[in-house]
Amino acid sequence: MQKILRSSIKLVIVLLITVLSLQAQAVVITSTVTGGQWYNSTTWVGGTIPGAGDDVIIVNGSAVSIGIDAECLSLTINTGNQSSSVTITAGADLTVHGDITINRTTLDGAF
């Protein structure tokens, strides 16, 4: 009986480790330079629309609009010699579960 119990416990531990190792990792999703609507696959390199567990990068010169609720793990907005933006329309929310980073080459007081 004890042998069966030990085997069962070992099996449960192995299954638990397997399930935990298969959990999805955060994916980095980058906007295209042309940008577009958050929920349009053409806005994103590779055509993947960001979700709650994804790290999002808005590239230099891209403008992304959010017309319905959206979420991501982190948001990085890169601005260099071209303006980049994320516009959230009235009635929509963007939930960022982690960090928001704005990388600028110069600080001119305008965000």
Q: Is the pTM of this model over 0.85?
A: no
Query: pLDDT band for position 83 (50/70/90)?
Result: confident
Closest CA to 73 of 57, 97, 50: 97
pLDDT band at 23; cut points 50, 70, 90: very low
Mean pLDDT, all residues of the chain: 83
| Rg of the chain, C-alpha, whole Å | 20
**Region 58-76 average pLDDT:** 96
User: What count of residues does the chain have?
Assistant: 111
Higher local confidence (pLDDT), 11 or 91: 91
Q: Are 37 and 65 in contact (CB under 8 A)?
A: yes
